[in-house]
Amino acid sequence: MVRDKSQPLIITRKDRCRVCYTCVRECPAKAIRIVDGQAEVIAERCIGCGNCVKVCSQKAKVVLSSIEEVYAILDSEKPVAALIAPSYPADFTDIDSVTFVGMVRQLGFTYVNEVGFGADLVAREMRRLMTETDDPYISTPCPAVFGYIKRYHPELIGQLAPVVSPMIATARALKQLHGADLKTVFIGPCIAKMGEAYSDEVAGEIDEVLTFQELHRMFKEKNIDANAVEPIDFDPPHASLGSLFPIRRGLLEAAEIKEDLLTNKVVSANGKENFIDAIMEFGRGELNARLLDVLCCDGCIMGAGMTTKEPLYKRRTRVSNAVRSAMEKRNADELHHYMEKFRNLDLRRTFLPFDQRLPEPASTEVEEVLARMGKFKPEDELNCGACGYETCREHAKAILKGLAESEMCLPYTIEKLHNTIAELNQSYEKLDDTKAA
């Protein structure tokens, strides 16, 4: 998968944008700038979490699509594997797993595999890492998390666990099994997986990435009917507890790593605010944790590439039930066979810094910007958040960094409007007086 890094994963449809600044408020990376009253995603700063997509009520945020590229791969003479993320039961709720696999097969895929198996391999590697070293690590299945660290906390790159994600682990295992000419398409709930797939560190290991939304669309475009396909199981190797990865603390469960609240050696954090707080505290040495297990979303089941509107715990229940049902049917000897077969599979990776930090403005500059917006003393700073920033000072800093505009301040804009109306009224009064004279 090779794409121009300056091409954003998410773009704004300007005809739909109503300048509500919700996307600015919800972006954990502050990767959205306002230019001439319109929101645009800054490709280099974006971590691909998709929060802006989820919160935009006007559907103004559009995700880069790979459907045409996938059709081209399927039309080629190469064997193609669909790598299915284990969160699929939370999105394809009206069909069972064998029907789902049959539908994917009918699109033209040679193999349909569970990324949960790659998660099993990653879980084993994480368990080994925790057993054989005393170094503190940040878990690395979530591309939005390590993308955030690469951009905004590059000093912590050395503490990212040097282990590939389940997506990459699955691709490596399948290419060892079926040959290096195998084409791989990841299908899941995550927009950030696109960024991971064409990053320099793992370039070429995944050919394309589709979201579940796109898969639904492909089923519709190709008129694939769930009632007309041949039910078929996933191709081996099959997954075990690795299929719990999309659920909060799923990695810990699969790796048999205990989150001991007494020792605090393992800390788990999820959600766009919690994961940033946890990373910052970890970086300052305040957690005393051996492992920081972090996901940007509340589990991958809440990813922006999902179509379902069901609440978190309903989705969690669907995945848990699917994993339990699958494991009851799996042959333990077969699971063990494949885990042993790939015991020596190389699961290592590196992380390169992609520093996107902007210089902090001087306090005098901040004061000048605040003054231009009529904020001369602390009590003038309302911190209402209407601009998308938590405080007036953060908004002023964003203006100086080229990310925001003064007009985003609602009280300031309203005051300007009132002043303009007052000036117009004065002009009308003078005009009336002139006419009367």
| pLDDT tens digits along 49-74 | 999 999 999 999 999 999 999 999 99
Query: Are 90 and 34 part of one and the same domain?
Result: no
* pLDDT at residue 6, as a whole number: 60
Measured CA to CA, the distance from residue 72 to residue 207 in angstroms comes to 11
Could you give the CA distance from residue 140 to residue 122 in angstroms, rounded to a whole number? 10
pLDDT at residue 1 in the model: 47
Distance from chain centroid for Cα 62: 14
- pLDDT number for residue 254: 94
Phi-psi bin for 402: left (phi > 0), alpha (psi -120 to 50), beta? left
* pTM for this predicted structure: 0.93
Instruction: Give the number of domains in the chain.
Output: 3
The amino acid occupying position 333 is D
pLDDT for 437: 60
| pLDDT band with cut points at 50, 70 and 90 for residue 179 | very high
Burial of 346 (0-12, 13-18, 19+ CB in 10 A): exposed
Question: Would you state the pLDDT for residue 99?
Answer: 98
Does residue 154 sit in the same domain as residue 267?
yes
pLDDT tens track for 106-160: 999 999 999 999 999 999 999 999 999 889 999 999 999 999 999 999 999 999 9
CATH value at residue 19: 3.30.70.20
Last residue of a domain, one of 22, 43, 63: 63
Average pLDDT of the chain is: 94
Residue 351 lies in a domain: no
Per-residue model confidence (pLDDT) at position 2: 46
* Judgement on whether residues 302 and 404 belong to the same structural domain of the protein: no
Residues 204 and 282 in one domain: yes
Confidence tier at 278 by pLDDT (50, 70, 90) = very high
Rounded to an integer, the average pLDDT of 377-405 is 96
Within 8 A by CB and 6+ apart from 47, the residues are 28, 29, 31, 143, 144, 147, 148, 151, 192, 195, 296
Task: Establish if 301 belongs to a structural domain.
Answer: yes
**pLDDT confidence of residue 8:** 84
Distance (Å) of CA 187 to CA 70, 337, 403: 11, 26, 33
Single residue among 41, 63, 85 that ends a domain in this structure: 63
Question: For residue 348, is it within any domain?
Answer: no
Q: Are 404 and 387 in contact (CB under 8 A)?
A: yes
Burial label for 350, CB within 10 Å (0-12, 13-18, 19+), is exposed
Q: 125 and 38: one domain?
A: no
Q: Tell me which of 215-219, 230-234, 259-263 is least confident.
A: 259-263
> In the listed set 63, 85, 112, which residue is the last one of a domain according to the structure?
63
Same domain, 17 and 120: no
Is the domain of 103 the same as that of 2?
Answer: no
DSSP 248: T
The whole domain housing 92 covers 67-341
Check residue 434 and give its pLDDT: 73
SS3 content of the chain, % helix, strand, coil (to 5): 45, 10, 40
